[in-house]
Amino acid sequence: MSFYIASSPHHHQRRTTAKLMQWVLIAMLPGFLAQLYFFGWGVILQLLLAIAVALAAESLCLLARDRAPSTGLQDNTAIVTAALLAVSIPPLAPWWIIVIGTLFSIVVVKHLFGGVGHNIFNPAMAGYVVLLISFPVQMTAWMPPTGLATQAPSFIDSLYLFLFQFTSEGFSLEQMRRVDTGAMLDAVVMATPLDHLKTQLSQGATLSEAMQHPQFTGLAGMGWQWVNLGYLLGGLLLLQQRIIQWHIPVALIASLAFCALLGSILAPDYLPGLSIHLFSGATMFAAFFIATDPVSAATSSKGKLIYAGLIGVLIYVIRSYGGYPDAVAFAVLLANLCVPVIDQYTRPVTYGHRKEQG
Amino acid sequence: MAVEISATSKLWRFPGGIHPPERKAPANLNNIQRFPLPPMLFIPLHQHIGEDGELCVAVGDYVLKGQPLTIPGVNNGLPVHATTSGTITAIHEHPLNHPSGLTGLTVCLEPDGKEAWYPRQPLNNMDALSQREVLQHLQAMGIAGLGGAGFPTARKVAGAKNIDVLIINGVECEPYIASDDRLMREHAKEILAGSHILQKLTFAKQLVIAIEDNKPEAAAAFREAIEQFSVTADFSADGADPAGSAARTNRQPILKIVPTRYPSGGEKQLIQVLTGKQVPVRGLPADIGILMQNVATAYAVERAVNHGEPLLERVVTITGEAVKNPGTAWALLGTPIDYLLAQSGFKPGKKQRVIMGGPMMGFTVTNLQIPVIKTTNCVLAPTHKELTPPQAEMACIRCGACEIACPASLLPQQLQWLAKAQDYAGLKQHHLADCIECGACAYVCPSQIPLVQYYRQAKAEIREQTIEQQKSEIARQRFEARQARLEREKEERLEKHRKAAEARKAAQAARQSEATATEQDPVKAALARVKAKKAQQTAPAANTESPQGPAGSASQTTPEHKVDQKTDQKDAVAAAVARAKAKKAERDRLAQAENNNEAEKPIAAKNAPDHDKKDAVAAAVARAKAKKAERERLAQAENNASTTNTKGSDNG
Ligand code: SF4
Ligand code: SF4
């Protein structure tokens, strides 16, 4: 009789990295659907292209590094990276934007740093930042959410815009936007609520004046609040499934909320309030899907609290005083840089090494 | 910081821990079985920590149940016993209970089915015996810890001083295993009696029995046993306690139910749960006043003391979906596990896994002939569906799940990187040695990294390195010691010659000084008087300046002078005394000088209580003598003087 020899433990919680990543993708659905609803077909086009590029890049990288692509691809991490990046960029940005971004995320940020588990930066966010710095115009060209625009671009128009930057009738994105805004929203130059606020405030308007804009209905602006609520829902699913721990989302949201409250108390006229910060931009997405990326986050529970708290503060500071309207990507990358230090100083005390015991 | 636990005291939490499926049923559902005697028993000589004893039987011998097969060596080893009566058919190498398939010298015993006992000697009057005698009995009965590594119980007890709490561990946190569970349900009374014996031996103030909350039946059995005990126990008659410490010993046992969470049954973890304290690193539980024993050990102690039975059998759980009738059974030590499996209806599958121990910490066996030994608690034969074999290892995603699960608060992830990089210094810095190999980290790792395997390998390599280092260190020390010895011998020879010469010189000098001292006497005496007057306290000053008595005693004998002594004067006096003492010591070393000293003593002693003048004279004599001696003093002696000097001023 031949025996099966193995090292203990012989039992294993059957929850593989691949399954974890699947859950992440599933949990992204509510937010993704909200984005699809408010921003049109472009969202899905971006996603599909991103995934295709990511898988191809991942396979090539694995081959180049002498790993079998079949096992490497199994962990689903490339798909998650692609999805995170795809939902972060403007839905009707030209196709080569997402291609460049995905390639950068997978090839440079992930594989040149040594593959999964070795990257110090969050790949999706690093890709996003590179795009934002390289192509600021395309990267900030968000469409107004459906309902504000006179007409949403049809699927064919979206596809044309995505591929050729012109609708089937020959309008450019810029023209489309101007048509929309000309009709209804005079002052919209940039489309997201945070962009709008930033511009208005920098032009000397007070917060309440800036908020007069029809975009600001409900919690934090049309469309965006629903997207955020969608990601919040997905995040809660991840928590419930124990895919992520509570530390990062809670610390991130708490520190951002604290800063926002403090800001509104100190300068109610010039600093956007709590609901704007929490439910606009990419806050919930960052709290549950970006900052929780295990590879680039701090490891210990205490470390995670510090790490996410830092992101929250950075988001607030950059949003309020920085040059960019939203700050999630920069904040996350900066916090990534701090992870080794955080890990160093939050090492748990090993059993029996407690000080008071001598 | 004495540890105290009460029935209501709070329970603490150890960090990490996991909740693997328990799967104690169906093995824990039925009574402990007793299978027919196996056709052959394989009794290895090496069964526990400690050296093997010396074999005292030969092939062909007929042995009785309980007859010792080995005589333990010097190092308090344990004997092994024949576990039934029968004939020794062979003594040869046989696979051992070891993951690597190691073999070891084993006595093959063919049972005759009579179960004829070797004479048993219960300790009927344990209270009249000393702790040492009882421990010797336990040693002879081969009692070892049945829960963990099989450490000889007597040694553990003897090494533990100042025990506040004796914890009887009935937690049994590992999945599948139900041996202690069944034992507790069926023999709570005996376990309790054994626990009391252990409590007496350790003089522990408290007795605590800890059970996980997933074994309510065992807890109920204990509750009943404790109640019966409380009714029948005569607390006042407890005075026969060997140390007479009955007063401080509370014999009422405390039952603590701890929440189910693997590995709460680990010694360190259970201590943390019950007391909130941690065993200090490289320390023992005894360092914080705690001793822990397993329930099965307590049971074995009871059998040994009250029935004179050596440790011959233990409860083994035979379970897993590849056996038809999972359950628990009394297995004689030496029973090959294939016999136990066969009795339980073992249906091996393709590439069957057979695990000795539980799924978390057990090891897979390579041979089913390996015998049950004192530490064998479970034989697990799972199907592949039941416990999926490990999948291909994937890259670590730094998720930190391992860290959250680790009960020792280690960083399993970092340890893994370091182990792969063979960075032994880094591993040490990350406290690899504190890893208890519980497997919690590997259990939760989503990338299926066999973390514990890496740690074990690294530990083995570090151990090897350390042994190598120790070897070379020992060689170096031996060489250095030899060099030092040669050096020393040479110096000693020289020193002997030098001393002999010195002694001759000193003798001469002493003789001379005696003569000159008497000559110079009047002058010295006058000088001394003047000095003494200046100090306005003639008698004590002179008195203490004499080399015979310490300053303290001198001032005590003349209390009238004590009052107005100023500190600086005191210091001066003390310094003088010290100097004189040093000189005296120097002289003491020389045989001749010692004689002189002795001759002087009575004179000075007589003079002391007398007139100041006489005192002064004596002091002067002494000082003169000392001066002479001083001239001959060596550098070494000067050093002595300076040290005594400081001491002297302290005294003053
Ligand atoms: S095996 Fe070691 S590192 Fe892993 S959880 Fe247990 S104690 Fe921690
Ligand atoms: S659980 Fe596994 S994958 Fe996660 S950090 Fe630990 S070793 Fe890495």
User: For A145-195, what is each residue's pLDDT tens digit?
Assistant: 555 444 556 677 677 667 766 666 666 555 555 544 443 333 333 346 666
Q: B281 and A1: CB-CB below 8 Å?
A: no
Choose between B241 and A142: higher pLDDT: A142
pLDDT digits over A22-81, tens only? 889 999 999 888 888 877 788 888 899 999 999 999 888 888 888 877 777 778 888 999
Chain B interface disruption, residue of A1, A2, A5, A12, most B CBs within 10 A:
A12
Structure tokens at A22: 């699947």
pLDDT digits over A291-346, tens only? 988 888 888 888 899 999 999 999 888 888 777 766 788 899 999 999 989 988 88
Q: A8 and B413: CB-CB below 8 Å?
A: no
Res. B36: pLDDT tops 90: yes
Q: What is the mean pLDDT of residues B230-256?
A: 55
- Of B235-249, B389-403, B411-425, highest mean pLDDT: B411-425
| C-alpha Rg value of chain A to the nearest Å | 22
CB-CB neighbors (< 8 A) of A118 in chain B:
395
pLDDT digits over B127-171, tens only? 888 888 899 899 889 898 888 778 888 888 888 888 889 999 999
Pairing of strands B165-170, B290-294: parallel
Chain B interface disruption, residue of A23, A65, A351, A357, most B CBs within 10 A:
A351
Q: Find the angle CA(A86)-CA(A91)-CA(A96) to the nearest 5 degrees.
A: 70
CB-CB neighbors (< 8 A) of A20 in chain B:
399, 446
Closest ligand 2 atom to residue B405 Cα is: 1
Residue ranges of the domains in chain A? 191-344
pLDDT digits over B435-472, tens only? 999 999 999 998 889 999 999 888 888 888 888 888 88
B578 touches chain A (CB under 8 A): no
B449 touches chain A (CB under 8 A): no
Residues 6+ apart with CB under 8 A from A154: A41
Q: Find the angle CA(B169)-CA(B172)-CA(B177) to the nearest 5 degrees.
A: 145
Q: A358 and B409: CB-CB below 8 Å?
A: no
Q: Can you spell out the DSSP letters for A71-106?
A: HHHHT-HHHHHHHHHHTTS-TTS-HHHHHHHHHIII
CB-CB neighbors (< 8 A) of A294 in chain B:
397-400
Q: What is the mean pLDDT of residues A136-148?
A: 65
Res. B14: pLDDT tops 60: yes
On whether B378 is known to bind a ligand per the annotation, the reply is no
* Closest by CA position to A149, among listed A44, A42, A248, A249: A42
pLDDT at site B616: 59
B457 touches chain A (CB under 8 A): no
pLDDT at site B478: 84
Residues in contact with ligand 1 (CB, 6 Å cut-off): B 405-408, 410, 412, 435-441, 451-452
Give A78 to chain B, closest Cα distance, Å: 13
Q: Which element (helix H / strand E) includes B364?
A: strand B363-364
Phi-psi region of B307 (alpha: psi -120 to 50; beta: other; left: phi over 0): alpha
Centre of ligand 2 from the C-alpha of residue B85, in Å: 53
Question: Which residue matches tokens 């066969």?
Answer: B342
Closest chain A residue to B438 measured between Cα atoms? A9
Res. B419: pLDDT tops 50: yes
CA atoms within 13 A on the CB side of B542: 32
Residues in contact with ligand 2 (CB, 6 Å cut-off): B 396-402, 412-413, 416, 444-447, 449, 451
- The pTM assigned to this predicted structure is 0.72
Centre of ligand 2 from the C-alpha of residue A301, in Å: 14
Res. B82: pLDDT tops 90: yes
Q: B364 and A3: CB-CB below 8 Å?
A: yes
pLDDT at site B521: 60
pLDDT digits over B289-334, tens only? 899 999 999 999 999 999 999 999 999 999 999 999 999 999 999 9
- Report the C-alpha dihedral over residues B66, B72, B77, B79, rounded to 10 degrees: -10
Closest chain B residue to A299 measured between Cα atoms? B400
Closest chain A residue to B22 measured between Cα atoms? A11
Closest ligand 2 atom to residue B395 Cα is: 3
Give B267 to chain A, closest Cα distance, Å: 12
Res. B554: pLDDT tops 60: no
Q: How far apart are CA B355 and CA B339, in angstroms?
A: 15
Domains, chain B, with CATH or none: 25-380 (3.40.50.11540)
ipTM: 0.75
pLDDT at site A161: 67
pLDDT at site B303: 93
Question: Which residue matches tokens 């008497």?
Answer: B518
Closest ligand 1 atom to residue B405 Cα is: 5
Q: B396 and A117: CB-CB below 8 Å?
A: yes
Q: B279 and A352: CB-CB below 8 Å?
A: yes
Average pLDDT of chain B, as a whole number: 79
Q: What is the mean pLDDT of residues B575-590?
A: 63
β-sheet bridge partners, residue B152: B144
Q: B353 and A10: CB-CB below 8 Å?
A: yes
**CB-CB contact of B58 with B305 (8 Å):** no
On whether B399 is known to bind a ligand per the annotation, the reply is yes
Res. A251: pLDDT tops 70: yes
